[in-house]
Amino acid sequence: MSEIKKVKIGVLGMGVVGEELISIILNNRDKIRRQYSLDLEIKGVFVRNLDKPRRITGLNLTDNAEELLDDPEISVICECIGGAGTEKTREYVFRAVNNGKSVIMSSKKVLALYGKELMQKVLENKVGFGFDATVGGGIPIAKILKNCFKGEGINRVIGILNATSNFIYTRMDKDGLSFEEALKKAQELGYAENDPSEDINGYDALYKAIVLTLFSMKTWTDIRKYAVVPFSQINAADMKYAKELGYHIKPLVVVEKKKSIVYRIGPCLVKESNIAATTNDNFNVIVLEGTNTGVLGFYGQGAGSKPTASAMFDDLINVLNKKDSDELLSHELQLDEIHDVNSLEEYKNNLYWRITVENRVGMFANIASTMAKNNINIERIIQKDEEGDRIGVVLLTSSIDTETISNIIDELKENNIIINAVIPFLDE
């Protein structure tokens, strides 16, 4: 039997994820000792508030992160700090790496913002670095992407990556709730935080998209190049009308590798037969389109404390088993030539428009002439509810680039037409 190696671990954060991770470490100590000859010891845990009651007791808690980050006995830091403290989290993980410690990360935000720089530091310091848990939660998508697809490229990734927004959309779709009512329900059931802004404005999905792009298309992309359409920009009427057309609206991430990497993050109409349309409530889906394998779908709980902690524990054991950062990051290091990121500008798809017009002769002619002037076909025009002297109208148009969309919106507004929603279809 090989010699048992003692590993002292520092955990940053003991919220829902940190507590689960600690519990998995404690419950699996004997097994890991037997299988991997590693004796895991949690030397200390950093928290903000030492007086908060904790489910797991008997740990050495500290409210001074440096105590762990500068402790020469600690060789691995597991970061499970709340998203609110991005700058602090960044400072702590860089400090750990510079002090020669391996790092296991949970914060997709810090990774999306500073991952490229951080990976450089990891290589300089020859430490371990695990961050598979930052995307997919219980869906082991990073591990699949690292181990498979050696003989092919992934050219398109479609995902529902934000559980909160998907839960909200599902309740709007199935129960006819407004966005605000569905959000309230999500908060009551613990699917949304008190401050849900990062989830509903699309940023949480954006951070995950950046990490997923690294794993699937081997490219670090720059967050400043992205545009996100907030998931909150739809209402119950859009859900209802989409359904009448045979579609569901989903909070979608689409990443395509063309000459540049092209993104779209926001609400999207998906055909009811598509796997994304049937992914409901707090579930996530990731659909990969490989050059040889074709379409592959991965479905499961993309967040949640237990799935995330379980993925972090895998990262921890992987890091402890690999010898150096080059080996550990071999997949991420074989980066393709850097692709430019072109957000919505290059993304063209057929569009759904919900507008309100005055109920008078000539209004439809106005709309048709604006579209024709901009070289856009109106595929369908459907008159909806009437409210006094105004009527709701749904238009389906051919694909339009972002600049033309804004020109059309300006022209329609000049004609006293209210634009309520403009939502792309996933496919032509």
CB of 196 to ligand NAP, least distance (A): 13
Size of the site for ligand NAP (CB under 6 A): 25
Q: Does 300 bind ligand NAP (CB under 6 A)?
A: no
Question: Which range, of 31-39, 101-109, 119-127, 254-262, touches ligand NAP by CB under 6 A?
Answer: 101-109
Q: Does 373 bind ligand NAP (CB under 6 A)?
A: no
Identity of the residue, 191 or 352, whose beta carbon is nearer to ligand NAP in the bound complex: 191
Helix (H) or strand (E) holding 308: helix 305-321
Binding residue for ligand NAP (CB under 6 A) from 18, 136, 196, 267? Answer: 18
Q: Does 82 bind ligand NAP (CB under 6 A)?
A: yes
Q: Does 153 bind ligand NAP (CB under 6 A)?
A: no
CB of 303 to ligand NAP, least distance (A): 4
Instruction: Categorise residue 375: left if φ over 0, alpha if ψ from -120 to 50, beta otherwise.
Output: left
* CA–CA distance, 392 with 352 (Å, rounded to integer): 13
Choosing from 101, 109, 121, 208, the catalytic residue is 208
Lookup: tokens for 412: 């329609």
* CA–CA distance, 162 with 302 (Å, rounded to integer): 8
Q: Does 303 bind ligand NAP (CB under 6 A)?
A: yes
Lookup: tokens for 409: 């919106």
Binding residue for ligand NAP (CB under 6 A) from 47, 205, 351, 423? Answer: 47
Binding residue for ligand NAP (CB under 6 A) from 7, 77, 80, 287? Answer: 80
β-strand partners of 299: 285
The phi and psi torsions of 179 (rounded to 5 degrees) equal -55, -45
CB of 15 to ligand NAP, least distance (A): 2
Lookup: tokens for 103: 């790092």
Number of helices (H), then strands (E), belonging to the chain: the values are 16, 16
Q: Are strands 74-79 and 294-301 parallel, antiparallel or unpaired?
A: unpaired
154 contact partners, CB below 8 Å, separation of at least 6: 145, 216, 217, 257, 288, 289, 290, 291
Binding residue for ligand NAP (CB under 6 A) from 9, 11, 17, 214? Answer: 17
Instruction: Tell which positions 111-150 bind ligand NAP, by CB under 6 A.
Output: 137
Q: Does 308 bind ligand NAP (CB under 6 A)?
A: yes
Q: Does 85 bind ligand NAP (CB under 6 A)?
A: yes
Binding residue for ligand NAP (CB under 6 A) from 7, 11, 13, 186? Answer: 13
Computed over its alpha carbons, how large is the radius of gyration of the chain?
24
Binding residue for ligand NAP (CB under 6 A) from 4, 26, 84, 382? Answer: 84
CB of 14 to ligand NAP, least distance (A): 4
Asked about 208 being catalytic, the answer comes back as yes
* CA–CA distance, 1 with 184 (Å, rounded to integer): 56
Question: Which range, of 42-50, 171-179, 249-257, 349-357, touches ligand NAP by CB under 6 A?
Answer: 42-50
User: Per-residue b/e over 185-200, b at no fewer than 16 CB within 10 Å?
Assistant: bbeeeebbeeebebbb
Identity of the residue, 166 or 343, whose beta carbon is nearer to ligand NAP in the bound complex: 166
Residue with tokens 């105590």: 67
Which has the closest alpha carbon to 298: 307, 306, 107? 307
β strands within 164-322, DSSP E: 247-257, 261-271, 283-290, 294-301
Binding residue for ligand NAP (CB under 6 A) from 235, 305, 318, 415? Answer: 305
Cα 41 to Cα 7, 28, 60, 93, 138: the distances in Å are 6, 11, 11, 20, 25
Question: Which range, of 74-82, 225-233, 368-376, 395-403, touches ligand NAP by CB under 6 A?
Answer: 74-82
Question: Which range, of 14-22, 36-44, 209-217, 359-367, touches ligand NAP by CB under 6 A?
Answer: 14-22
* CA–CA distance, 70 with 10 (Å, rounded to integer): 10
CB of 19 to ligand NAP, least distance (A): 8
Q: Does 424 bind ligand NAP (CB under 6 A)?
A: no
Largest CA distance in the chain: 88
Identity of the residue, 84 or 338, whose beta carbon is nearer to ligand NAP in the bound complex: 84
Q: Please identify every residue annotated as catalytic.
A: 208
Residues interacting with ligand NAP, by CB under 6 A? 13-18, 47-49, 52, 80-85, 88, 106-108, 137, 303-305, 308
